[in-house]
Homo-oligomer: A and B are copies of this chain.
């Protein structure tokens, strides 16, 4: 027995001593990173690319919350600094800029039943979050809440105090602006129903239903529905004692429908009694929601679900091993990688069924059918990360996109659960799929993809859903101001055209690869139309009028911080001027030469014209490296930006994570590679923050296997590259092709504290 004790002590010592080295990737993840500073991530429980997520909801019901979902533009179910919790939302979005989903709010309470969230919410303490698990304790009720999830189902474990415990499912309130739902009692312990969702980014037609089945594992003493009654006028208002109130339906057991409805279970609880609640969801049917729940949780076993979710996360995050760097950098890094593995998420049920794109029909898939494509964001770096590290996922995502085209005739732009929301602009599917193809992942129907691309690139405006202003673009090479917006301030013509140039450049590359030389020439020519917007007077891009003249007066700084500026969408001319990633050399040329380019770009950083959270300019720091002797500026700026904006704290992401785009920027930047030209199979190199990075490539797609990136840091100040070795040979360039990197298998940076000018 004594011996046994020693063994335990020895074990603890091992953990303490070798803990740092032995730590698993998942252990570095801090789901609270990105939960404030408008990064709109959340600490909820979710599996990698899971359809289900279970997220503490704290953005309504009380002045205790600093940020209220209705008091301002708000798009997250959770805010780190808020205090008033009103339940767990089921199925949410992470890192998006518009309010959507975040419904089916499950709340445990104690004592007399109250179904008004303005009353039943509670402050909380003791928050804990690791991948796949979240817990807190509700101050008002002394209830401990724990949640975890599978791909399509959730399980909550609530530990009650002695007395009456209640479990409320609020189907009315949530983050979405869409309303309406149905719930039906199936048995004492099971309910089913659906909730309408959609209108993402105020696209009023992008509506879809979510179906659910929910079970409790203890027989309740009472169950019932509630519905907030409309405010009635006249005689009705005088007589109806429930007028404008939450009415309880205590003796009703059939379908309930309406705008603000809910269901409650009440229990007699012993001290410390645990009640578990399971929910399955589906976007196809209630039957599928039930099948999903039963398949993924054949028993009620919270700890097992939690363990599986955790292990799944560790496996997913283990595609990269990093060594060196600080503890904080490792936390930042793996949390960023975690954030890239949330969206796109799977859409299909366990039986393979999913809602077809823009259709009431149901399809069936063998692989994963993905949804939540925030492509204007993610085409810049997220899909490049998938192509490199998760080629299996990326291929399923590409196949899903092509299926969407087959189903309704257009590639996705900002697809959400089978509906196209038309958020932001451009034709981002082209660079995503081209990039994938050119990097050698080709197990998809590229001809159909190409057909879709040519369709959106050439169909006249009136019939063109993807590029509704393509007519002048095709005729003159640019889009003049004032074609679509009611007033100039809401016009995004330059932003639109810049996206088309990037897409058409990618399309020309794909055409080349497919042997379509004439197409390639045509699209390459179109891709250079950006020069129409270049104003020598201001040295920036500048909106043009229909008569060919530049917009006057013009302020290139207008449009920062989400104010409106004519021609530019959510940004200033400075945020867009360098966004011709496929034509950097030519851009330098029109600017007067490399030095003028570099000086101007340096001014963008020096004069605070750079927005680290705005997609069009996030590749700016890498553009220095296109010019001889200027790569140190890339290394300097990337190091500075990482240091300044990425932190192992809740405010550790510079802004909206945009479905992983900010996180992918950090990941690539921290390992020394960045894909600064979407659709081009290359990376720009910079200084890694880690001494050693191992990319465990999937040998089914990359038979050469792991890539090791080494960068022994002499000090924290060793941020400059003095030499590069690729595949054991000196490498002179700061750009490397995907194929060469894969083939080389090793990449070594020799670092110094003083920057090199050559």
Q: Which residues of A line the B interface, CB within 8 A?
A: 70-74, 99, 177, 179-182, 185, 194, 196, 199, 202, 204-205, 207-209, 227, 229-230, 232-236, 239-242, 247, 249-259, 261, 355, 358-360
Contact = CB atoms under 8 A, between A and B. Distances in A.
B233 A202 contact: no
Given A179-B258, A194-B255, A360 B70 contact: no
A233, A251, A258, most chain B CB atoms within 10 A: A258
Contact of A257 (B99, B202, B257, B358): B257
Contacts of A196: 255-258
B182 A255 contact: yes
Given A207-B252, A227-B179, A247-B204, A70 B233 contact: yes
Nearest to A185: B360
Contact of A177 (B240, B251, B261): B240
A354 to B, nearest CB: 13
B251 A358 contact: yes
Given A230-B259, A249-B207, A71 B235 contact: yes
Contacts of A239: 73, 202
Contact of A70 (B177, B199, B235, B249): B235
A477 B205 CA distance: 67
A256 B204 contact: no
Given A234-B70, A234-B72, A236-B70, A257 B182 contact: yes
A74, A179, A208, most chain B CB atoms within 10 A: A179
Nearest to A181: B257
Nearest to A283: B254
Given A70-B233, A70-B235, A236-B70, A180 B256 contact: yes
B242 A204 contact: yes
A177 B229 CA distance: 10
A257 B258 contact: yes
A258 B185 contact: no
A517 B209 CA distance: 65
Could you say how many copies of this chain the assembly holds? 2
Contacts of A355: 254
A104 to B, nearest CB: 14
Contacts of A359: 253
9 contacts: A74-B235, A179-B227, A180-B227, A180-B257, A180-B258, A181-B257, A196-B255, A204-B247, A205-B249
A70 B238 CA distance: 11
Given A70-B236, A236-B177, A253 B360 contact: yes
Contact of A258 (B74, B205, B255, B258): B258
Nearest to A242: B204
A71 B234 CA distance: 5
Contacts of A229: 179
A241 B233 CA distance: 26
Contacts of A185: 360
Given A72-B235, A204-B242, A253-B359, A179 B230 contact: yes
Given A204-B242, A205-B252, 10 more contacts: A74-B235, A99-B236, A177-B240, A179-B227, A179-B258, A194-B255, A202-B239, A204-B247, A251-B358, A254-B355
Nearest to A360: B253
Contacts of A202: 239-241
Contacts of A250: 205
Contacts of A177: 232, 236, 240
A250 B239 CA distance: 37
A363 B309 CA distance: 45
A431 to B, nearest CB: 27
Contacts of A240: 177, 199, 202, 204
Contacts of A181: 257-258
A254 B179 CA distance: 14
Contacts of A227: 179-180
Contacts of A241: 202, 204
A261 B180 contact: yes
A199 B247 CA distance: 11
Contacts of A230: 179, 259
A258 B256 contact: no
A41 B234 CA distance: 23
A622 to B, nearest CB: 35
Contact of A254 (B233, B257, B259, B360): B360
Contacts of A204: 240-242, 247
A179 B252 CA distance: 14
A74, A208, A233, A255, most chain B CB atoms within 10 A: A255
A241 B179 CA distance: 15
B360 A73 contact: no
A68 to B, nearest CB: 8
A183 to B, nearest CB: 10
A202 B237 CA distance: 11
Contacts of A73: 235, 239
A177 B202 CA distance: 31
A355 B253 CA distance: 11
A256 to B, nearest CB: 7
Nearest to A418: B254
Nearest to A182: B257
Contacts of A199: 240
Nearest to A245: B204
* Across the A-B interface, the 5 shortest Cβ-Cβ residue pairs: A253-B360, A180-B258, A180-B257, A257-B257, A70-B234
A261 B209 CA distance: 15
A177 B239 CA distance: 10
A360 B250 CA distance: 12
A698 to B, nearest CB: 37
A177 B74 CA distance: 35
A371 to B, nearest CB: 15
A71 B202 CA distance: 36
A241 B203 CA distance: 9
B207 A70 contact: no
A253 B182 CA distance: 16
Nearest to A98: B239
A250 B204 CA distance: 10
A41 B677 CA distance: 75
Nearest to A193: B257
A756 B726 CA distance: 129
Given A181-B257, A185-B360, A251 B205 contact: yes
A99 to B, nearest CB: 8
Nearest to A355: B254
Contacts of A249: 205, 207
